[in-house]
Chains A and B, each alone.
Chain A
């Protein structure tokens, strides 16, 4: 599978940031992910590259969480609160608040599928569940998000 590594860097960074909520740590984990990925040439040309990349990132994030069990604060969130119109900002905040009410696993699934646009087949292998289960969980997560938001805003 041919893959744009620079594009994937942003996506893996976003995934790590979602997990650790700290810019520096997220970037360190992203770089470590890519170094380990490039170090293991077996997966590079076998068509499982994306799955492997996310597996490394997830394992590193879990290790990082175990190392620093204290809850980390979302320090950098203010830094991105620029270049948005007022309406966009309100929408973004309301979606963000709705997301926070969801379970962590549902949030992660929504991030992978709709933000990072990871194919369903890769998500299946990443979680070790069937395609049907992924669709069901995605549908439940989306339904949960919509109910938290109020259906009338996004129909």
Chain B
């Protein structure tokens, strides 16, 4: 059917305009959404590189420990700060791009959006953690608990430092600072592992546990503060 006939067809189906449309859409009840559906929709907005990084770490661990039979604990724990970086940058993304106020005015509050994304990435990272522990245990003498603690420590330290940075600094400054923190923690982790392997060998295990507990408490507190701070944006509108 040619364009002219299509247009003529549209014209011939011309009808009187509806008179109650605006009033209807003003009063119509909006469709509700369950918490699970909301979380699923937010998962789609998380940047691809965050998922890509998880896949990359898993692939390296699988090839290094599973196929090449190398000790991969040092490598996996050095990647942990970068994994934490993906969580931190996601929580401050809307503010970095100047979208925080816009998001606050939409269907879901910024607080819900940030919380949902932190939960999704936190759960995904925890699952990755569980998958990586067996690979990190291979080809060395560390036990499962010790390996888990050695991996969790740099992750929690970076998350704690990064979340603190995004609360104190804004825009690109905070993004650069978070990257700096992640790279520093990763480098220090590598340096300590290469220079003082005894620290990873079991003698200093109590210190690792203490550090993980402290950083865990600190990270939880920072998460709470970040979510609370997003509420304060509402007062600045």
Contacts and interface: CB of A to CB of B under 8 A. Distances in A.
Interface of A: 5-6, 9-10, 13-14, 17-18, 23, 26-27, 30-31, 34-35, 38, 41, 44-45, 76, 79-80, 84, 88, 91-93, 95-96, 99, 110-111, 114-115, 142, 145-146, 149, 154-155
Contacts of A76: 15-16
B21 A95 contact: no
B11 A154 contact: no
Max chain B Cβ within 10 angstroms of own Cβ: one of A84, A93, A110: A110
Contacts, number: 86
A18 B9 CA distance: 13
B24 A114 contact: no
A5 B25 contact: yes
Main SS class of interface, B: loop
Contact of A9 (B12, B15, B16, B25): B25
6 contacts: A17-B16, A88-B11, A91-B8, A93-B12, A96-B12, A149-B5
A43 B30 CA distance: 14
A10 B20 CA distance: 11
Given A23-B18, A88-B11, A92-B14, 11 more contacts: A10-B18, A10-B21, A13-B15, A13-B21, A17-B16, A23-B19, A26-B15, A30-B18, A34-B28, A45-B33, A95-B9
A27 B22 CA distance: 12
Interface of B: 1-2, 4-6, 8-16, 18-21, 24-25, 28-33, 37
B9 A6 contact: no
A38 B31 contact: yes
A148 to B, nearest CB: 12
Contacts of B2: 154-155
Max chain A Cβ within 10 angstroms of own Cβ: one of B9, B25, B29: B9
B13 A27 contact: no
A41 B13 CA distance: 31
A16 to B, nearest CB: 10
A26 B18 CA distance: 9
A92 B5 contact: no
